[in-house]
């Protein structure tokens, strides 16, 4: 059974999601070129790069492209340099895998300090039951949106998980939900 651990609920959730072998939007590490010429050279080394140049609308002949590649001082219009940069950024971006249905339909068991109102307990410790959340009752649209854009950091994941999964499954709690502990395990 997959398990996520972390110093916050959000970190544990992100580690649990990583156990499902999915990847959020990111940047390929090999794309580090700064100038238009270096970016063009990098783009023309792969099929993906040529595809992004075409999508970005670079409409030059093969002869012109060869001249550009042969001479980094060749005069290139600013609009073409912008198209090259746009294509380079698109080629450098990794598309996010979708959050798997198995994750969203997960029966989450949260172990760690859970607080609602004045009630603060270490759930899952010393024989107490963990906090059980049925992910099928959650509304995952906001979480998935952040995931696709590469913005699902630990804090955002925790906040949205509380708002759109915990609250949708078991309610708001006395005064909202808080996870003030320093270690969480989610299975």
H or E stretch including 6? Answer: strand 4-6
Q: How many CB atoms lie within 10 A of CB 82?
A: 12
H or E stretch including 185? Answer: strand 184-186
- Whole-structure pTM value: 0.73
Average pLDDT, the chain: 92
Percent of the chain, pLDDT > 90? 75
- Judge whether residue 23 has pLDDT over 90: no
**SS3 category, 112:** strand
Place of tokens 């080629």: 91
Q: What is the DSSP letter of 183?
A: -
Strand ranges in 61-165 using DSSP code E only, listed in sequence order: 93-94, 107-116, 119-123, 131-134
Binned at pLDDT 50, 70 and 90, residue 169 comes out as very high
Over the stretch 56-84, which tens digit does the pLDDT of each residue have?
999 888 899 999 999 989 999 999 999 99
- β-pairing, 107-116 vs 184-186, is antiparallel
- Judge whether residue 1 has pLDDT over 80: no
Which residue(s) pair with 102 in the sheet? none
Percent of the chain, pLDDT > 70? 99
Over the stretch 138-168, which tens digit does the pLDDT of each residue have?
999 999 999 988 899 999 999 999 999 999 9
Q: What is the DSSP letter of 165?
A: I
**SS3 category, 177:** strand
| DSSP code per residue over 124-153 | TSTTPPPEEEEGGGS--HHHHHHHHHT---
- Judge whether residue 49 has pLDDT over 70: yes
Q: Which of 168, 174, 144 is nearest to 157 (CA)?
A: 144
Instruction: Give the burial class of 170: count Cβ atoms within 10 A of its Cβ; 0-12 exposed, 13-18 middle, 19 or more buried.
Output: middle
* pLDDT at residue 174, as a whole number: 64
* pLDDT at residue 149, as a whole number: 87
Which residue(s) pair with 94 in the sheet? 26
């Amino acid at each position: 059974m997959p398990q996520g651990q972390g110093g916050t609920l959000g970190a544990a959730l992100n580690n649990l999601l990583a156990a499902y072998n999915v990847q959020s939007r990111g940047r390929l590490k090999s794309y580090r070129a700064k100038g238009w010429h270096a970016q063009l050279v990098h783009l023309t080394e792969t099929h993906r790069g040529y595809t992004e140049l075409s999508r970005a609308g670079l409409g030059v002949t093969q002869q012109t492209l060869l001249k550009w590649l042969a001479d980094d001082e060749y005069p290139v219009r600013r609009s073409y340099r912008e198209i090259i940069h746009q294509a380079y950024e698109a080629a450098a971006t990794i598309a996010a895998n979708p959050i798997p249905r198995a994750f969203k339909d997960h029966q989450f068991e949260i172990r760690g300090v859970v607080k609602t109102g004045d009630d603060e307990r270490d759930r899952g410790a010393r024989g107490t039951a963990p906090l059980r959340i049925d992910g099928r009752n959650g509304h995952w649209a906001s979480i998935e949106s952040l995931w696709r854009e590469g913005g699902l950091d630990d804090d955002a994941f925790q906040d949205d998980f509380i708002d759109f999964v915990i609250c949708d499954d078991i309610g708001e709690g006395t005064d909202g939900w808080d996870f003030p502990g320093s270690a969480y395990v989610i299975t």
